Structure 1
Amino acid sequence: MTDTPRSQPAKTRTRAPLPWAPGEKIDFGACRSIKVTCVSEVGWADSREMLQDIDAGGGATASQWRMPWHEQNARGSCSLLEVEGLDGGRRRLLIDAGWNRDYMRERLAATGVADLIAAGGVEALFITHEHIDHLFGLQAVLELKPDITIHIPETFHVEAQRFIAGADFPEAHAANAVAHRGEIVRLELGGVHVLMPGLAAVGFDQQIMLDIEGEQSLYANLEREGLVALTGCGHHSFERIAAFAAERLARGETLHGLYGGLHIAPFGPLSPEQAARVRDMGRYGFSRIACNHCTGLAAVELMVELGYPVVRGTGRDGSVSDLYVGNGDTVTFG
């Protein structure tokens, strides 16, 4: 690992969640609508090669920072979230930074998101978790705005923090040559963090493959429709996401919608257990399911077969099907 010198160190602060007591419901305000642009939902090009890299690096419990990843197989997960406030104002967050830097430069440019970031129209980068396909493309974002605020889970490893500061990990073919110069906000797990009226972050304590811990999701409270949950991979499961909303969030008894990865069948066909989870989704009453990324095509196909309200896409720019919201597609809630 090598570090890149930086002229202005980033400021890091840890943010505690809102206080909560059993039986209480947290009201984090409301927004009029949200619009999500899928910059990229393709984590990697070939699942077999991905699994071979994991095996070569010591298996699913070994550290991703010491695995010999093949860069030509890397793509990445990244979305732009635009929140329309009740006053009509619009604020934007970038959700995750993808993996392959060249690929992410292309996708950010193709969707017009690069221009927004460079012009200061995106106020923060929200990194859901530390996995390669959500973090390793960071340089493509920092090249556009090196002082962008970054929200991370408090569980980020030292390696990830060094990577953000400007470091190379040659063994993992991971490099960030643009040192971050903005503020880093470490969000404590287990509670609600209000990022803006109608948008809150929640971190879940979850042990994840490749020696990663913790993933944070977003909840948007639409004035008319109710709550929408937005995920990176959703390793902590849509079941936990829905249960947290029902227990702790005002209007959380039923989620109106979902966006992002649901991590059901990321590497191929559905197992009986995975199929059972999909069949059980019906009882949650989701009105719109805009899933992609690690949800898995087989899982989406079963959702469609069961008549679930899956939001369709265009199947372009690398996404393998039009059954779900893919690269370059947008979805609006509200």
Structure 2
Amino acid sequence: MTELVIQGREFAADGVLELTLRHPLGQQLPAWEPGAHIDLLLGPDLERQYSLCGDPSDRTAWRIAVLREPDGRGGSAFVHEQLGQGDKVRVRGPRNHFALHPAPRYRFIAGGIGITPILPMLAAAEAAGAEWTLLYGGRTRASMAFTEELRGYGDRVTLAPQDESGLLDLAPVLDDLPDGTLVYCCGPGPLLDAVEERCPKGVLHVERFQPKEQQAGQDTEFEVVLARSGRTLTVPPGVSVLDSVRSAGVEVLYSCTEGTCGTCETDVVEGAPDHRDSVLTDAEREAGETMLICVSRCRGKRLVLDL
């Protein structure tokens, strides 16, 4: 965790505030790769995750963009109303659960503020010589951030404001994908669900701002063994592994408590997790080597975790 200073503050679009963060002593910031996000620790029980959307090669500054959400839980309102130029803010990270994997071609799809993790991916794909396109939608053209930056990519970028062209037309982008194509999508839940329905298995990578609706699983009691100490805890119905571990006095990192940020991802030594998160890929779930302890449970009677 570190404390950074806000050295840039401007609106990137209607309702979207762009912040530039630097170290107060001019020190280099930790390295990051496209898809990474940081946690802003805004106050007691007020932490929010925001994607880094600047240039990974610039170790002097981090850029994020925050959408003002009138019906949100207070994080975006705090950023818009309380954080000003020159203010300091505590930051944790970066972490990356949305990494850009090497591929000869990409199809990028962004909805609204979902453009933020995608933006540095475009530059990385361009630098790698990959073939790519971006389909970017929003409520209105004025609400879509970074459109001026995107103009430099020419006709590889399609801007599709909903008030001008309706919902995003996914068919031309996703039908008949050439072999070796990877699809990266970030945006509101209905968009991600629609993209998932069209994509072949194994080609899609998504990042969600809200938890995906999960099928109801068993909510029965089970045991968790903490491998580092040998302690055994009982996790009753209706109580998360995270809460059980913290109640036992074990300090673990966590943030969103809804399975979307990945902060509480924990290695599984033994047992079968009942995955209920919105972060892990299908392959990662099948491997069962990690789990998000804020929402996921156990498919048996016992889990051994690296805690």
TM-score by length of 1: 0.35
Which is richer in strand?
A: 2
* Higher RCO (CA-CA < 8 Å; seq separation 6+): 1
Give the greater-gyration-radius structure (CA).
2
Higher share of residues assigned helix: 1
